[in-house]
Chain A
Amino acid sequence: MEKERNYTLKIWRQPNAQSKGAFKTYEVKNISTGSSFLEMLDILNEEISEKGEDPVHFDHDCREGICGMCSLFINGRPHGPEEEITVCQLHMRTFANGTTITIEPWRAKAFPVIKDLIVDRTAFDRIIQAGGFVSINTGGVPDANAIPIAKHDAELAMDAAACIGCGACVAACKNASAMLFVSAKVSQLALLPQGQAERKKRALAMVEQMDEEGFGACTNTGACSAECPKGIDLSNIARMNRDYFTAAIS
């Protein structure tokens, strides 16, 4: 296996939200197979900066697959070709020497492009603000062991809570639906005793906000779950639908 590889990159460049974007082609050389995908972009940026060209802007922060900031659509798939990882955990050994790699931002009406590969995902924050919490203040809460929670339920809640809010589910969906994201939070709290008091209200409010933000409808294709870097299960959507319909008719 060669230790260093060369690639052709087709990258979406768009100076700001107002202007029209286009693909631009770059060549990168001598990329170590141990480099992460984002380190490869760091190298490209160093090179083009030295030549005086504006570096390619992309969101990234923790580079450990947990903050949910990185958000690249690579060769037609959110977070690239590997299963259950984010872009920052993707390594260049995955890409054969000499290949062309296409890099785009998340594409969804509710996620407008800010610049290049960076999109605005504040719609997700507003959905959480609509009801993704338990309405308790700091202090005055019961002892942590006062309410036992079956291990099985706690584990299921944790499975749902693992969502990192990156938006890959929306990017993967042909309708740009946010059902997987919303249902993960609704499920986490629906599975725990602490979430019961506001369970119905929460499902209604969060779904309503989701619709208001302009996300599309769900047709149960499962692309969201298949591309989710944290493997959030499709059954969460079923759980949310049940809560939503129960709330809507009661």
Chain B
Amino acid sequence: MSLDSKIPEGPLAEKWTKHKFNLKLVNPSNKRKYDIIVVGTGLAGGAAAASFGELGYNVKAFCYQDSPRRAHSIAAQGGINAAKNYQNDGDSVFRLFYDTIKGGDYRSREANVYRLAEVSNNIIDQCVAQGVPFAREYGGLLDNRSFGGAQVSRTFYARGQTGQQLLLGAYSALSRQIAAGKVTMFTRNEMLDVVIIDGKARGIITRNLVTGKIESHSAHAVVLATGGYGNVFFLSTNAMGCNGSAVWRAYKKGAFFGNPCFTQIHPTCIPVHGDQQSKLTLMSESLRNDGRVWVPKEVTVAEKLRKRQIKPSDISEEERDYYLERIYPSFGNLVPRDVASRNAKNVCDEGKGVGETGLAVYLDFRDAIKRDGIEVIKAKYGNLFQMYEKITAENPYETPMMIYPAVHYTMGGLWVDYNLQTTIPGLFAAGECNFSDHGANRLGASALMQGLADGYFVIPYTIGNYLAGIPNARVSTDHPAFAEAEKEIKDRINTLLNIKGTKTVDHFHKELGKIMWEKCGMSRDEKRLKEAKVEIKKLRDEYWKDVKVLGVNEELNMTLEKALRVADFMELGELMVEDALDRKESCGGHFREESQTEEGEAKRDDVNFTYVSAWEFKGDDKPAALHKEELVFENVKLTQRSYK
């Protein structure tokens, strides 16, 4: 099968407009004859489900949480980008497009990214009309701030809770459609498989998480908006329930997986405190505007700090290494996320890390407080400082914060064409769960933008084109394909419950996380990736022999839920390693030690790797097949990123 990205012809700025005109339409009175399933109700899924309902389609929406208002989009702090140019500082659709392509290290599609920038302005209008209380100036107009990777102020925000407010906006629109009877909402339900009939996605199988009932749902099209798979690493900033099962099941049914190895490791998270940790907390990237990152120059000094024999304030200026300022004099502490993360790892690997575990660096506000006064710093970062103090019991006004990188976002996901359709006709993917817009590295404040762009302004158009081309006859869930898929799931559940092994699901998840973090994390090389491949395979075999899953299916059983997710994470982890092995260049968040400049910086290889990896499932225990979508750049010139 060959990959067709379906990028429209014509000049970049006209592609989307032309494409919208060329898309087939479903006439208003026919829309009620079509059913759409939406899995996941975060920004992308919630926005899509609400918009489909408004258009007149019949929608069934599913989420594993107790309410669509709780999807993990809610945790995004900083803001949402848009090319409004309200600040008159030279922003434009083209500039937002350019920054996003460059920030992604030239591994995303020009046409998709341009469309994202183009619809960004509509998103802000839409959210304001919904009653989202964005920050405002005294004159009553919207306020903006700036974010990493951009030289203009284009980020709209609602305090440090932008994701929450945007999600509640989408949730309110969705609630309105639920009340109108156009959307039927299934909460505490998890999708366990997608059903393909005559080569098209025609439904899903779900498990009711309260009763354990396995159910079939049919539709004319299925939209996955199930978020990222960062929890492969066990510890991440994702919510505890975030998982990769929906996309993994789609992959195993024939949807190609794009760039699985592209993961974003965020530099400013609160360090791990010990073995008892289950979750990591992100501190906003904005802190790097005023905080200075440092470690002691000498390993012996770092050792004393770790043993609490001395305090950071005992260390003189000459004994400190402000390594980001030293290595990158022009960008200093504001280098992009991938660069900041990798350098923190390097200094800790050299034995200069601080904190009890030695896996932390300082983010010090001493000089900023001296320069601007404590009140100015408090006004800017008060809530973040307070959150830090609650978690660590240390006062960042008096002693430097400690930070360390953590898994945060996955740029990879299901491969989709320009219409956000996967390689399975009728199966679409929106938001973080597709691979489409961020290339090898995502810029801050762009995840919210992409989720809402896909949900409000892209998929409502493109799905109509698909539906207009298929007959409106409904498929009954009595079709044998549903029974077959249900049986497969029930067998998988029974197998897990009957292993009755000796080790808990979390034990395996932690082991998987360790392998992935150490061998397929911030820095990768062929030798360790090959080891990881063997180790994951071994762990997976052991899992199916020795995992202990208590209880029965017919109840609320969180161990079973997790057991199903971890089984999929292991297979997904293997594919991530496979993809990281194939991509011998360094780009964005993917750093291959074999591919670096003399100064130790990431070295892209545009001659051999300007492509999207799209992996095809070939069967259990058979190697996945790699398809390459060559990326064509007609509007930007590829340059090596430099932040020195």
Of B136-144, B214-222, B564-572, the segment with at least 4 beta carbons within 8 Å of chain A is B136-144
Q: Choose among A39, A135, A150 the residue that contacts B176 (Cβ–Cβ < 8 A).
A: A135
* Residues A62 and B130 in contact, CB atoms below 8 Å apart: no
A15: interface (CB < 8 Å): yes
Of A115-123, A218-226, A236-244, the segment with at least 4 beta carbons within 8 Å of chain B is A115-123
Q: Which one of B129, B132, B165, B550 has the greatest number of beta carbons of chain A within 10 Å?
A: B129
Give the shortest distance, in Å, between B132 (CB) and chain A (any CB): 8
The docked-state distance in angstroms from the alpha carbon of A44 to that of B148 is: 41
Write out the residue numbers on chain A whose beta carbons fall within 8 Å of the beta carbon of B460: 138
Instruction: Tally B residues with Cβ within 8 Å of A.
Output: 82
A201: interface (CB < 8 Å): no
A212: interface (CB < 8 Å): no
Across the two chains, which residue of chain B brings its CB closest to A53?
B550
* Residues B276 and A32 in contact, CB atoms below 8 Å apart: yes
* Residues B129 and A35 in contact, CB atoms below 8 Å apart: no
* Residues A142 and B129 in contact, CB atoms below 8 Å apart: yes
The docked-state distance in angstroms from the alpha carbon of A50 to that of B503 is: 7
Write out the residue numbers on chain A whose beta carbons fall within 8 Å of the beta carbon of B617: none
* Residues B67 and A55 in contact, CB atoms below 8 Å apart: no
A154-B125 contact given A125-B67, A132-B175, CB 8 Å threshold: no
* Residues B273 and A138 in contact, CB atoms below 8 Å apart: no
B135: interface (CB < 8 Å): yes
* Residues A122 and B274 in contact, CB atoms below 8 Å apart: no
* Residues B278 and A192 in contact, CB atoms below 8 Å apart: no
The docked-state distance in angstroms from the alpha carbon of A5 to that of B135 is: 43
* Residues A192 and B131 in contact, CB atoms below 8 Å apart: yes
The docked-state distance in angstroms from the alpha carbon of A222 to that of B118 is: 47
The docked-state distance in angstroms from the alpha carbon of A186 to that of B600 is: 56
A21: interface (CB < 8 Å): no
Write out the residue numbers on chain A whose beta carbons fall within 8 Å of the beta carbon of B168: 161
Write out the residue numbers on chain B whose beta carbons fall within 8 Å of the beta carbon of A50: 504, 548
Write out the residue numbers on chain A whose beta carbons fall within 8 Å of the beta carbon of B54: 137-138
B66: interface (CB < 8 Å): yes
Write out the residue numbers on chain A whose beta carbons fall within 8 Å of the beta carbon of B165: 158, 161
A170: interface (CB < 8 Å): no
Give the shortest distance, in Å, between A183 (CB) and chain B (any CB): 15
B179: interface (CB < 8 Å): yes
Write out the residue numbers on chain A whose beta carbons fall within 8 Å of the beta carbon of B276: 31-32, 34-35, 39-40, 42-43
A67-B161 contact given A89-B391, A192-B131, CB 8 Å threshold: no
* Residues A141 and B125 in contact, CB atoms below 8 Å apart: yes
A89-B390 contact given A69-B70, A154-B133, A154-B135, CB 8 Å threshold: yes
Interface flags for B455-494 (1: CB within 8 Å of A; 0: not) read: 0110010000000000000000000000000000000000
The docked-state distance in angstroms from the alpha carbon of A61 to that of B68 is: 13
The docked-state distance in angstroms from the alpha carbon of A147 to that of B136 is: 12
Give the shortest distance, in Å, between A135 (CB) and chain B (any CB): 6
**A7-43, CB < 8 A from B:** 15-16, 31-36, 38-40, 42-43
B178: interface (CB < 8 Å): yes
A6: interface (CB < 8 Å): no
Of B321-329, B551-559, B636-644, the segment with at least 4 beta carbons within 8 Å of chain A is B551-559
* Residues A161 and B550 in contact, CB atoms below 8 Å apart: no
A250: interface (CB < 8 Å): no
* Residues A35 and B273 in contact, CB atoms below 8 Å apart: yes
* Residues B72 and A62 in contact, CB atoms below 8 Å apart: yes
B187: interface (CB < 8 Å): yes
A61-B176 contact given A115-B555, A136-B130, CB 8 Å threshold: no
Across the two chains, which residue of chain B brings its CB closest to A205?
B179
Q: Choose among B67, B140, B277 the residue that contacts A165 (Cβ–Cβ < 8 A).
A: B67
* Residues B273 and A194 in contact, CB atoms below 8 Å apart: no
Write out the residue numbers on chain B whose beta carbons fall within 8 Å of the beta carbon of A46: 504, 506
Q: Choose among A61, A145, A151 the residue that contacts B239 (Cβ–Cβ < 8 A).
A: A61
Give the shortest distance, in Å, between A94 (CB) and chain B (any CB): 10
Write out the residue numbers on chain A whose beta carbons fall within 8 Å of the beta carbon of B240: 60-63
Q: Choose among A39, A128, A147, A162 the residue that contacts B172 (Cβ–Cβ < 8 A).
A: A128
* Residues B133 and A157 in contact, CB atoms below 8 Å apart: yes
Interface flags for B266-287 (1: CB within 8 Å of A; 0: not) read: 0000000110111101100000
Write out the residue numbers on chain A whose beta carbons fall within 8 Å of the beta carbon of B51: 137-138
Interface flags for B528-545 (1: CB within 8 Å of A; 0: not) read: 000000000000000000
The docked-state distance in angstroms from the alpha carbon of A55 to that of B560 is: 11
Across the two chains, which residue of chain A brings its CB closest to B171?
A128
Across the two chains, which residue of chain A brings its CB closest to B392?
A34
Write out the residue numbers on chain A whose beta carbons fall within 8 Å of the beta carbon of B548: 49-50
Write out the residue numbers on chain A whose beta carbons fall within 8 Å of the beta carbon of B138: 151
Interface bin, chain A? 35 or more
B134: interface (CB < 8 Å): yes
The docked-state distance in angstroms from the alpha carbon of A188 to that of B168 is: 12
* Residues A141 and B129 in contact, CB atoms below 8 Å apart: yes
* Residues B70 and A68 in contact, CB atoms below 8 Å apart: yes
* Residues B277 and A39 in contact, CB atoms below 8 Å apart: yes
* Residues B172 and A142 in contact, CB atoms below 8 Å apart: no
* Residues A139 and B126 in contact, CB atoms below 8 Å apart: yes
Write out the residue numbers on chain A whose beta carbons fall within 8 Å of the beta carbon of B173: 133, 138
Write out the residue numbers on chain B whose beta carbons fall within 8 Å of the beta carbon of A93: 393
**B554-605, CB < 8 A from A:** 555-556, 558-559
The docked-state distance in angstroms from the alpha carbon of A49 to that of B549 is: 9
Give the shortest distance, in Å, between A52 (CB) and chain B (any CB): 7
Write out the residue numbers on chain A whose beta carbons fall within 8 Å of the beta carbon of B393: 33-34, 91, 93
The docked-state distance in angstroms from the alpha carbon of A237 to that of B172 is: 20
* Residues A16 and B133 in contact, CB atoms below 8 Å apart: no
The docked-state distance in angstroms from the alpha carbon of A188 to that of B562 is: 37
* Residues A143 and B70 in contact, CB atoms below 8 Å apart: no
* Residues A192 and B133 in contact, CB atoms below 8 Å apart: yes
B86: interface (CB < 8 Å): yes
The docked-state distance in angstroms from the alpha carbon of A124 to that of B187 is: 13
B210: interface (CB < 8 Å): yes
The docked-state distance in angstroms from the alpha carbon of A192 to that of B65 is: 30
A124-B131 contact given A133-B173, A144-B124, CB 8 Å threshold: no
B37: interface (CB < 8 Å): no
* Residues B66 and A122 in contact, CB atoms below 8 Å apart: yes
* Residues A124 and B175 in contact, CB atoms below 8 Å apart: no
The docked-state distance in angstroms from the alpha carbon of A54 to that of B551 is: 7
A158-B278 contact given A125-B67, A133-B130, CB 8 Å threshold: no
The docked-state distance in angstroms from the alpha carbon of A33 to that of B393 is: 10
**A86-102, CB < 8 A from B:** 88-89, 91, 93
* Residues A49 and B504 in contact, CB atoms below 8 Å apart: yes
* Residues A120 and B172 in contact, CB atoms below 8 Å apart: no
B623: interface (CB < 8 Å): no
The docked-state distance in angstroms from the alpha carbon of A157 to that of B176 is: 20
* Residues B67 and A66 in contact, CB atoms below 8 Å apart: no
* Residues A85 and B129 in contact, CB atoms below 8 Å apart: no
Q: Choose among B71, B273, B456, B556 the residue that contacts A16 (Cβ–Cβ < 8 A).
A: B556
Q: Choose among B171, B176, B282, B556 the residue that contacts A118 (Cβ–Cβ < 8 A).
A: B556
Known: A61-B240, A165-B69. 9 other contacts (CB 8 A): A34-B276, A61-B241, A114-B210, A125-B187, A128-B175, A138-B457, A139-B126, A144-B84, A148-B139
12 chain-A/chain-B pairs, Cβ below 8 angstroms: A16-B556, A62-B72, A64-B281, A68-B70, A89-B387, A91-B391, A91-B393, A125-B69, A133-B173, A138-B457, A144-B142, A151-B138
Which A residues form the contact surface with B (CB < 8 A)? Answer: 15-16, 31-36, 38-40, 42-43, 46, 49-50, 52-55, 57, 59-69, 82, 85, 88-89, 91, 93, 114-115, 118, 120-122, 124-125, 128-130, 132-139, 141-145, 147-151, 154-155, 157-158, 161-162, 164-165, 188-189, 192, 194-195
Which B residues form the contact surface with A (CB < 8 A)? Answer: 47, 50-51, 54, 65-72, 74-75, 84, 86, 122, 124-142, 158-159, 161, 163-165, 168, 171-173, 175-176, 178-179, 185, 187, 210, 237, 239-241, 273-274, 276-279, 281-282, 387, 390-393, 456-457, 460, 504, 506, 548, 550-551, 555-556, 558-559
- Interface pairs A-B: 6 shortest CB-CB: A148-B140, A133-B172, A141-B129, A34-B273, A158-B133, A157-B133
